[in-house]
Amino acid sequence: MEHAATLWFMDKWTISPCSTGYAIHNDEHSHKCIIGKSGLIDAAAKREGDMATPLGSWVMRCVYFRPDRRSAPLTELPVYPLGTDLGWCDDPADAAYNQLVRRPYPGRYEQLWREDERYDLLVVLGYNDAPPITGIGSAIFFHLCNKNTQFTEGCVAVLEDHMIEILAHSSAGTPLVITRQLHPVPAA
């Protein structure tokens, strides 16, 4: 990519509690983020539908974007346009559990093309995907929120300008490390 020389990359982004809620941070940046309604949970205890965000290190696999609303973000991660026919299987009984599916799809899935702007930039995290284990959680994404968002269903979410900055400083293999360790600096 011709822009690669202008980007600098982080070894990781960490998500942790701070005095204002939760922050996503590295050595250079700190931003407010939103996690699941049920808070943080040990990955071994994570279950489908529990509204909790799993602790651990989850690699950013790829980015999807809504081409009707925005251009592709500047990043070294693989980037794909989101289509109206894409979904993510969240049915533990389905062979495609925790995988991208094309609609119409006979099993249960989450629609990725949404009316709200939450998935206008959507990062697939490497949680429960190598291979997926039935029932321990699916569709743990890194996605957008707005200033009124109070929680997610287990994902991590940030404001769009923060997401753009994070993606610009991320490459294939960059992990989001979700921890209970307190981040002493308030999120901006």
Interatomic CA distance for residues 1 and 109, integer angstroms:
34
**Hey, CA dihedral for 29, 178, 88, 114, is it positive or negative?**
negative
Position 111 pLDDT exceeds 80: yes
In a domain, 186, yes or no: no
Q: What is the pTM of this model?
A: 0.92
Interatomic CA distance for residues 185 and 171, integer angstroms:
25
In a domain, 51, yes or no: yes
pLDDT one-digit tens code per residue, 86-95: 999 999 999 9
Q: Give SS3 for 157.
A: strand
In a domain, 50, yes or no: yes
pLDDT one-digit tens code per residue, 126-139: 999 999 999 999 99
Task: For residue 19, count other CB atoms closer than 10 A to its CB.
Answer: 11
Give residue 155's domain range: 4-178
Average pLDDT value for residue range 20-47:
96
In a domain, 85, yes or no: yes
In a domain, 39, yes or no: yes
For residue 158, give the CATH number of its domain: 2.40.440.10
Return the ∠ at Cα 166 (arms to 1 and 10), rounded to 5°: 75
